[in-house]
Amino acid sequence: EPEVTQTPSHQVTQMGQEVILRCVPISNHLYFYWYRQILGQKVEFLVSFYNNEISEKSEIFDDQFSVERPDGSNFTLKIRSTKLEDSAMYFCASSGLGHQPQHFGDGTRLSIL
Amino acid sequence: TQLLEQSPQFLSIQEGENLTVYCNSSSVFSSLQWYRQEPGEGPVLLVTVVTGGEVKKLKRLTFQFGDARKDSSLHITAAQPGDTGLYLCADYGGATNKLIFGTGTLLAVQP
């Protein structure tokens, strides 16, 4: 069964550094998402992406965050200048049109020191 | 903003026991979904329920949707260690595709 893959599985970065989290969505999916889960808290929506542009973003997704689909297969989340509170699990998901089920990757654990 | 509260937060039971976990919404569900998340993995969709009063079964798991579409329960019969994980309910954020997740129930089934 096709799956969403995310790399790296764990990223450790100094505060203030830029990080790029990578995702390869399921190939025939059209919607792409990033969610995050701070340790002990619930999964929170960050951003959705469709037709090469952001379709919706949450309050968390401020100017420090950006997303890109650089080559038609990868979907990336960039955090420009990381803060301690960015430490979390970041999940990528993809889906078809409408309210088709979202398929999640296994996440990237981001640790900011 | 819709809030999804799940109870209990934590549940530790012995293999073979039955259990029920709950999800309550501050507003009517658009399309209620139940996910299971195992340690080190992403959430995996178990079921979607849309119609008030609907009951769906997935092997030993029974999902019930309240008539008013504001609450749901997940009942597991004869729990097994493989059922261990974080159970999440979720709903679409209105007309958008973003998912709003509940607070989760962490289930541990002891052999």
In this prediction, residues B21-45 reach a mean pLDDT of 92
CA distance linking residue A21 with residue A27, whole number of Å = 18
CA distance linking residue A52 with residue B11, whole number of Å = 42
Which residues touch B2 (CB under 8 Å, ≥6 apart)? B25, B26, B27, B91, B93, B100
In this prediction, residues B14-18 reach a mean pLDDT of 97
Q: Answer whether B97 sits within 8 Å of A44, measured CB to CB.
A: no
Q: A91 burial class (0-12, 13-18, 19+ CB within 10 angstroms)?
A: buried
Phi, psi of A3 (to 5 degrees): -140, 160
How much is the pLDDT for B40? 85
Q: What is the pLDDT along chain A (113 residues), one digit of tens a residue?
A: 779 999 999 999 999 999 999 999 999 899 999 999 999 889 999 999 999 999 999 999 999 999 999 887 899 999 999 999 999 999 999 999 878 889 999 999 999 99
In this prediction, residues B41-58 reach a mean pLDDT of 92
A101 → closest Cβ in B40, B45, B88: B45
Minimal CA separation from A55 to chain B, in Å: 9
A33 CB neighbours in chain B (<8 A) are: 97-99
CB-based contact, B44 to chain A, within 8 Å: yes
CA distance linking residue A92 with residue A72, whole number of Å = 15
CB-based contact, A25 to chain B, within 8 Å: no
B31 → closest Cβ in A35, A95, A99: A99
How much is the pLDDT for B1? 82
Q: How confident is the model at residue B20 (pLDDT cuts 50, 70, 90)?
A: very high
> Quick check: B100 and B90 in contact, CB under 8 A?
yes
